[in-house]
């Protein structure tokens, strides 16, 4: 069995310390660890990178501390719309859903689209209906709503009305979760899931469900999941650009992700990525003050972080 690796992100931004209580920051780190361990358990048991990234993302979708699934951002109409995608680096198969409203775990729906349909991308109520037919858990839209998000939306709308929107913390506006993995057979996979951003226009679709923009995986090259302002990830074809720089320009994973994050930074765009290459090297570059992130490389040590300080947890 070759080297194993799992890397995750839970969104980047200023992540102001007073956004959460100390207990909530601690729980955020614990949930990052839970996400990593769920994936690691699969990888060490000989499971697939695809199963690992799905499991990692499901843990973050079920946590209130990330902008995906339960606890996701609210649209301008105080509802939730979710985008997600998954890609299998072994076959370049991919599945994605956008603007879903009733699927508890959108990443499972993306996987079902990949495996149980002839489509790559399903949108809106058709995606909800497909997920229900595929036997996935369906919930009321209000299941996803946290009081914290309701307050943040009200505050954001008030600031918008006063014309001080620029003062809104990036963490209130954006956020995404994602995972990349390398399994023992050398297969790479990537997955991304998001609730968009607070006060999002209804029907706006970001980069998370767009293969090549927010998510990309290809055996022998890399797996990538992005977080940040989705529109620029789409316009820069950011996730595939990492792979293309490695494939065609001979750049390393570190160099290729660094190139792309630098370009996004020059556009004054807060952005981050988690990526892994065919040798199991994990990188988590970002140009913001913080990014929720974590990884386990072949030594089995669990690393999690939200700001500069990286916590080494007990081995998985």
Tell me the closest approach of the beta carbon of residue 14 to a copy of itself, in angstroms. Answer: 20
* Binding status of residue 240 toward a copy of itself by CB under 8 A: yes
When binding is defined by CB under 8 A, the residue of 1, 16, 26, 126 that contacts a copy of itself is 126
How would you class 313 by CB atoms within 10 Å of its CB: exposed for 0-12, middle for 13-18, buried for 19 or more?
middle
When asked if residue 120 is in the footprint of a copy of itself (CB under 8 A), the reply is yes
Cα separations (Å) of 105 from 54, 97, 283, 297? 10, 11, 26, 26
Q: Is residue 100 among the annotated active site residues? A: no
Binding segment toward a copy of itself, per CB under 8 A, in 21-29, 123-131, 139-147, 171-179: 123-131
Least Å distance, CB 39 to a copy of itself, is: 23
Q: Which is nearer to a copy of itself, 59 or 256 (CB)?
A: 256
Q: How far is the CB of 259 from a copy of itself (least distance, A)?
A: 11
Q: Does 16 bind a copy of itself (CB under 8 A)?
A: no
For a copy of itself, give the closer residue by CB, 245 or 293.
Answer: 245
Name the burial class of residue 286, with classes exposed (0-12), middle (13-18) and buried (19+) by CB atoms within 10 angstroms of its CB: buried
In this structure, the strands spanning 93-100 and 121-123 are parallel
Residues 6+ apart with CB under 8 A from 44: 4, 316
Q: From the list 36, 52, 53, 122, which residue makes contact with a copy of itself (rule: CB under 8 A)?
A: 122
- Interface of this chain with a copy of itself, residues 249 to 308, rule: CB under 8 A: 249
Q: Return all residues near 123 (Cβ < 8 A) that are at least 6 apart.
A: 97, 98, 99, 205
Q: Retrieve residue 246's tokens.
A: 């490695």
Q: Does 130 interact with a copy of itself (rule: CB under 8 A)?
A: yes
Q: How many Å apart are CA 198 and CA 258, to the nearest integer? A: 28
Beta bridge partners of 103: 138
Query: Does 242 participate in binding a copy of itself (rule CB under 8 A)?
Result: no
| DSSP codes, 295-316 | EE-TT--EEEESSSPEEEESP-
List 176, 194, 288, 306, catalytic entry: 176
Q: Among residue numbers 198 through 237, which ones bind a copy of itself (CB under 8 A)?
A: 201-206, 210-213, 216, 230-231, 234-237
Among 182, 189, 224, 185, CA closest to 54: 189
| Among positions 1, 16, 92, 150, the unique one binding a copy of itself when judged by CB under 8 A | 92
Nearest to 85 by CA among 64, 57, 48, 118: 57
| Catalytic residue ranges | 176
Binding site for a copy of itself (CB under 8 A): 87, 92-94, 98-99, 117-127, 129-130, 201-206, 210-213, 216, 230-231, 234-237, 240-241, 244-245, 247-249
């Amino acid at each position: 069995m070759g080297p194993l690796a799992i890397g995750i992100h839970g969104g980047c931004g200023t992540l102001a310390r007073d956004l959460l209580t100390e207990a909530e920051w601690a729980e955020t780190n614990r949930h990052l660890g839970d996400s990593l361990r769920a994936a690691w358990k699969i990888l060490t048991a000989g499971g697939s990178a695809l199963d690992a990234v799905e499991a990692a993302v499901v843990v973050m979708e079920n946590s209130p501390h990330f902008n995906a699934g339960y606890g996701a951002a609210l649209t301008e109409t105080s509802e939730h719309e979710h985008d997600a995608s998954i890609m299998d680096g072994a076959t370049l198969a991919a599945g994605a859903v956008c603007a879903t409203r009733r699927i508890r775990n959108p990443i499972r729906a993306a996987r079902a689209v990949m495996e149980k349909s002839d489509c790559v991308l399903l949108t809106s109520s058709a995606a909800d209906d497909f997920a229900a037919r595929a036997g996935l858990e369906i919930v009321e839209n209000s299941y996803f709503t946290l009081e914290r998000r309701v307050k943040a939306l009200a505050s954001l709308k008030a600031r918008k009305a006063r014309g001080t929107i620029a003062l809104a913390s990036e963490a209130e506006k954006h956020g995404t979760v994602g995972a990349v993995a390398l399994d023992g057979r050398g297969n790479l996979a990537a997955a991304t899931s998001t609730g968009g951003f607070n006060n999002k226009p209804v029907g706006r679709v970001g980069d998370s469900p767009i293969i090549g923009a927010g998510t990309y995986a290809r055996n022998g090259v890399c797996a990538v999941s992005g977080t940040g302002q989705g529109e620029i990830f789409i316009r820069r074809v950011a996730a595939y650009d990492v792979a293309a720089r490695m494939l065609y320009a001979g750049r390393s994973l570190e160099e290729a992700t660094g190139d792309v994050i630098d370009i996004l930074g020059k556009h004054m765009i807060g952005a981050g990525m988690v990526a892994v290459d065919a040798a199991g090297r994990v990188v988590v570059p970002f140009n913001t003050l913080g990014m929720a992130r974590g990884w386990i490389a072949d030594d089995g040590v669990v690393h999690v972080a939200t700001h500069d300080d990286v916590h080494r947890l007990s081995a998985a």
